[in-house]
Structure 1
Amino acid sequence: MTQLLWQKPGVQVDERIQHFCAGADVILDREFLLFDIQASRAHAQGLQMIGILDATELDAIERELATLADDFASGRFVLDETYEDGHSAIEARLIDRLGDAGRKIHTGRSRNDQVLVATRLWLKDRLARLRELCLETTGIALTRADVESGLPLPGYTHLQRAVVSSAGMWWSAWAEAFIDNAARADDTLAWVDANPLGSAAGYGVNLPLAREHTTQALGFGRMQVSATYAQLSRGKFEMAAIEALSSGMLDLRRLAWDLSLFTSAEFGFVTLPAQYTTGSSIMPNKRNPDVIELMRASYASVAAARSEIEQLLSLPSGYHRDLQFSKGAIFHAFGRGLGALELLPDLLRNLEWKPEAMRAALEPSMYATDLAVDLARAGTPFRDAYRQAADPARWEAGDADASLAARVSPGAAGDLRLDLLRERLHALGGQAEGAPQT
């Protein structure tokens, strides 16, 4: 390992203790390194603005940081146990290539605000991707809701056949759900979009750091003003981002449950794309919906990560090394969560309904609610109409298409109001799949 940034003369480093303290930090920092390099460039520009670096030194640092980013992206530079963490790797590289100019880069900053700014930039990137996936999912669901609005599908409560529903209602539900998820990702991104760089170890420094410049250079919406709050917000912002992710993952879990049921022989409503199923190692007849089962399970990883960070935050103000463990939690949450959501759009594009099976599952009792409402509309008090419609003798095979057309309450099968959902989607920058570009 290279010389530790904090190592004092005459102090022997115990390798067991150092391994315990560093853990997998340097490996985890591979996720952050390009963002850390980006922030180091902005910090160096700020140091030049206040006279710590001259123009020649800044040019050299910017050049070497760009080279390091290219080397890391191409695999020519590997962040490994040679370094304590990504921060020390950047500094070691600059010192090795530039000497004294490299030794100046850490002026006015701490590894505390380095990790904070890299985390914020990383979270912004991940939340933007979450938003994109939610909008893409919505676009597909809206298109299919429109095309399949009149396709009858049994509606269930308590997993019991309840009323006649439609594929259009099923799709429109997920469309609106993922609009909300995209909006929540948007709102969370705006909240996280605050620049902590320049807060140092949480108490500022005796230099007029160019924090407004680094805020603008790094594309942040605002500066996080209080140096102490910058430290207090570590973990809090990560939890908010995970909560935004978990909103989408909760809906994915329920959607996957539907498909798990609908693809079973007992329901038989849906055929999955072949690539979303696997075979059994012993039963030659099996095609298993493993992908949607793992989609369903992925929420657990997201929820666990949030819980892990929440448990870390039982701390007084100021920085504490406990917070190091928050990095692995967010990487695991977003890695697993976005990995599942990435597979969702193609699944939804390509699943196929089995209309004959869907219609065959509609039984006379599922029209009882329609009968009760029709009686109430004709003047029978609803509670009396309810009792009359509960009599099995009055149940008879109904017309599914007529039932759906008559369901005209806003948001029901006969009036899906997809135009309102399209407006919300458009306001967020998305559009229904297949819609013309505007």
Structure 2
Amino acid sequence: MTMSRKNLLLTYSLAVGVRYLFLHSDFQKDIVNRIEIQTPLNSFKRVVEGRYRMSLGIDPYESDSLHVPPLHLTFYTFLIDNFPNYLPYIFMLIDLLTGHCLYTFARRYMLKLYIKQEKNKHTYAEDALSQLLEGRDLYLPPQYALVVFLFNPYTIFNSAAMTTTTVNNLLLSLFFVGIIYDNLVISLAAMTLSTLQSFYPVIMIAPLYLTVYKRKESHLQACLTLFIYALSVIGIIYISGIIYNGYQFLDQTYGFILKVPDQQPNVGVFWYFFMEMFEHFRLLFLFSYQMNVTVLYFLPLTFKFREDPPLLAACFVTLIAIFKSYPSIGDFALSLALLPCWKHLYSCMQQVFISSVTIVITTALAPILWDLWIFWGTANANFFFGATLAFVTAHIFLVTDISFAYTKREYLLKYGNCRQINGKDAKLVLE
């Protein structure tokens, strides 16, 4: 059972209506200039400036304003030159496509979980019925995922500001569709383009590898897929260097992401530490932070979720949003929209209420503290950073809670709800 075409059309129409209202409201200019939404990496104003410099025959990467890779700059230039009056509506359409991709992914994912459950049902404990998927779990999570994405304020503001994060979210959602349908062309293309835009999706090689291996049962085929991915990224960068007469863009794109030279405040944690620390410690913390988002959790999470590549990919998407050098609320919109897909884990989660309330409160509090700091002068950077730190900590709790719930549910399915040791009821005693 899925949403009817009438309900889908109504949902999409309401989503377009909400975005249209924000786009033509007095708040649109304020939304574009909010540091929670716009960053040096996803600002469309910088893309327009780069396109203008390029039209004058000036290298757009000579200045320190443009940080979009050449392939994506070419795409945005095409849109600006051919559809200048329809750009806001194009970003609306991209949002709708992303929502539909998430709906398609969630529907297929829940079906696969249900089929796997019915296949292994004979191995589950007798008193584990409360942990099993029901019929309604096949159609409710996809609907929730669609609604959460399309009507999330993070997504709406991101679309109204026309940030490049809107396009990146579409690419990542296409990657999820590709791995759940075992479509290597879609997953490889989406992952390649997403990596070229923001670098950090390179860690998606783990769920891609696991997906290919589970399908082909061949490590050689999986490694070949990763080789094609690496060859595609290198090839596009090489061609971009030829077209743009050099590789200066590498320092202004991926170098900018890795070296973090701009300390403009955002919803992440990079800016505060690099603003406050002594300069001779910068390289140490720079390596530590970048390893945190790319290397540190890569192997542990890959090993733990090796049987569930989509869940692994969702964890990586959330970790990227949390720890990337220039995050925006648009990065968190995708990870929050994926939460309904783990509805079967909710009964084992312990911190979802606290995390949700913290995210809501800090989202409302951060703009207030920013205004008190910048415009009123009655606060300082510590106030705003405190809100952003609580914001990312809440998302960290969500990731750890999902990981714990996944492990706990596996245990309950195998051993049941029994809490006895040597025939006696077990008790947890603190001494």
Q: Same fold (TM over 0.5)?
A: no
Question: What is the TM-score with the length of structure 1 in the denominator?
Answer: 0.28
Whose radius of gyration is greater, 1 or 2? 1
Q: Which has the higher contact order (CA 8 A, sep 6+)?
A: 2
Which has a greater percent of strand?
1
